[in-house]
Structure formats: C-alpha cells, structure tokens
Amino acid sequence: MFHRLGQLATGDTVTVDREDGRTAVFTVDRVEQYAKDDFPTIEVYGNVDHAGLRLITCAGDYSSAERRYADNIVVYATLSRSE
C-alpha cells in the first residue's frame, strides 16, 4: 500500500509485524515530498539516535520517456511501543 504513503499525517501510526510475533507501532513524525534530483540521502538513510522508521515511495509527475516519477515521498516515524 505504498501508493498511499502521501496520505499519512503527523500523529498517524504504522504497524510492523515482527518475526517474534510482536507488533512494533511507529508514530509518524512528518511526511515530506522531495524531488529525486534533490533527495536528502543523509537525512533519510543516516543513523538516528532512536528506533526510527523511514518509508519511501515514488510520487509526483510520471515521465513515460524517462520511465520514472519526478519525486519521492518519505515518511519519518518513531517507535511508540511494542505489543
């Protein structure tokens, strides 16, 4: 369901089913849209000082000539709890 990432908002939750049977619940801190040519690689993929989650998908205008979207949506989230 990554095509709907852009609909998430600050405060929404994302759940991840873990191999050990528990569920990790992350709270969305922010959702950003970046042009692919100006993608903040270090901010998105760099180390964080907490249990965090980054979800990334394509967005923006699609170029059939280049066969790619112009932008990326990035969801930044922080672990809230494990169940």
pLDDT per residue rounded down to tens, the chain (83 residues): 677 888 999 999 999 999 999 999 999 999 999 999 899 988 999 999 898 999 999 998 898 998 889 999 999 999 999 88
Cβ-contact 29, 78 below 8 angstroms: yes
pLDDT value of residue 1:
64
Report how far residue 18's alpha carbon sits from residue 25's, in angstroms, rounded to the nearest whole number.
10
pLDDT value of residue 39:
93
The SS3 assignment for 68 reads strand
Helices (H), the chain: 41-45
What length is written for the chain?
83
pLDDT value of residue 2:
75
